[in-house]
Amino acid sequence: MTDIFHISKLLIKKRLKVLTKSEKLQLKKFNTKYPFSKEIKIEDLVDKIESYSKINKERAWKSIEVKTQKKIDKPVFQLFNTSWYKYAAAVIIILTTAYFLKDAVFKELDIDNQIIVDIKTIVPGTDKATLTLSDGSLVSLEKGKTVKTRNANSNGEKIIYKSTDKKPATVAYNYLTIPRGGEFFIELSDGTQVWLNSESQLKYPVAFVEGKTREVELVYGEAYFDVTPSTENEGSKFRVLNKSQEIEVLGTEFNIKAYKDEKNIYTTLVEGKVSVNSGATNQILKPKQQANLNLIDNSITIDNVNVYHEVSWKEGVFIFRRKSLEDIMKVLSRWYDIDVEFVNPELKKVGFNGTLGKDQNIEDILRIIKNFEIIKDFEIINKRVILK
């Protein structure tokens, strides 16, 4: 099957004039096989795709092929005159590439005077972490490296703790630390699954004590929890601690964002029910609600949010809605392990929408931002990005 998601990335890069020679050849072969692709209007597609981030790739492509075959004698390919446009929208689906919308109109990108950067200097993040055992010893976890401990196994992309009928009398803790430019998945001994974002640390027991509340601590950073219910754990509740709040659950999915350099802690409930306790106040969240704990005055506000936008990072996508350039670059600095410098402080306040795949090259992202005149120029020196 044709990888439509890869092709969509090439179509966008062609529009922005950043195709490599090999990519030009790939797109040429694709256009020869599917001539209708030349009629696709990227500007029209951009406005259609936001709600179609989760689609079946194979079904999408088969639908495009079938519909196109039926219209083969028509001179113009009208992409959105039918009910199947949501599949055709895969041509520019957000999971494949970055696009930033300032005025919702693409402009030509002049790269004649583009700064030359070393593409090997900055690479997207990957699966990696440091495991700290109860005796204080450190174990490096990374792709291609198999690790076995007394209580867990890791294939370099995730670590799984063993479930055991023998419950410990005392608790032994491990720490999983994710550096900038990393992410990792862990399954705890009770089956609870946790996705950890860049620059995060989780403290957790090697095994939970029978009859006691299952308790872990998000020391800092961001984590998505899929908690096994208390009914499968002899009625034991599950609690997540961090520096300023406690979250108690019975069995649910939620996201906590509690970075050290931010003044707010965000707890987003995907499904189930959680109680957010800051000491001074206690709030019960419903699905699709987000608690915002202000660390300065310890107040909590509750808002309805688009859950997918908040947790898309664990699916390989960053979605920004009405975010400032400063906030966006803060997220990117963690994922790409870079430092960002604003030559003009006013740039920090510029707000816009953006969606990008986490495998996107940082150079491509910066070029697109420049193309929309959000910044005048940029420079990359080692792992320092200078926005002008």
Q: What is the CATH number of the domain that holds 163?
A: 2.60.120.1440
Q: Which domain holds residue 334?
A: 316-387
Co-location of 157 and 218 in the same domain: yes
CA 258, CA 271: separation in Å to the nearest integer? 20
Co-location of 155 and 42 in the same domain: no
Co-location of 60 and 186 in the same domain: no
What is the number of domains present in the chain?
3
On whether residue 282 sits in a domain, the answer given is yes
Residue 310, pLDDT score: 93
In the chain, which residues have pLDDT < 50?
1, 43-57, 64, 68-120
C-alpha Rg value of the chain to the nearest Å: 23
Instruction: Work out the percent of the chain whose per-residue pLDDT is above 70.
Output: 71
- Global pTM reads 0.71
pLDDT tens-digit map of 335-353: 999 999 999 999 998 887 7
Residue 117, pLDDT score: 42
Comparing CA positions, the residue from 239, 193, 231, 194 lying closest to residue 214 is 239
On whether residue 331 sits in a domain, the answer given is yes
On whether residue 120 sits in a domain, the answer given is no
Q: Where are the alpha helices (DSSP H) in 17-71?
A: 21-33, 42-46, 57-70
**Pairing mode, if any, of strands 245-249 and 274-277?**
antiparallel
Residue 43, pLDDT score: 47
Co-location of 332 and 285 in the same domain: no
pLDDT tens-digit map of 132-176: 999 999 999 998 899 999 899 999 999 999 887 666 667 899 999
Distance of CA 125 to the CA centre of its chain: 11
Co-location of 43 and 161 in the same domain: no
On whether residue 135 sits in a domain, the answer given is yes
Amino acid (1-letter code) at residue 269 = L
Residue 352, pLDDT score: 75
Q: What backbone phi and psi angles, to 5 degrees, belong to 78?
A: -85, 100
Residue recorded with tokens 């915002």:
292
Domain termination residue (choose one: 305, 335, 359)? 305
Residue 52, pLDDT score: 44
Query: How many C-beta neighbours within 10 Å does residue 269 have?
Result: 25
On whether residue 207 sits in a domain, the answer given is yes
Co-location of 229 and 291 in the same domain: yes
Beta bridge partners of 36: none
Quote the crossing angle between the two packed helices 325-336 and 362-371, to the nearest 10°. Answer: 160
Residue 140, pLDDT score: 96
Give ∠ CA 49-50-53 in degrees, rounded to 5: 85
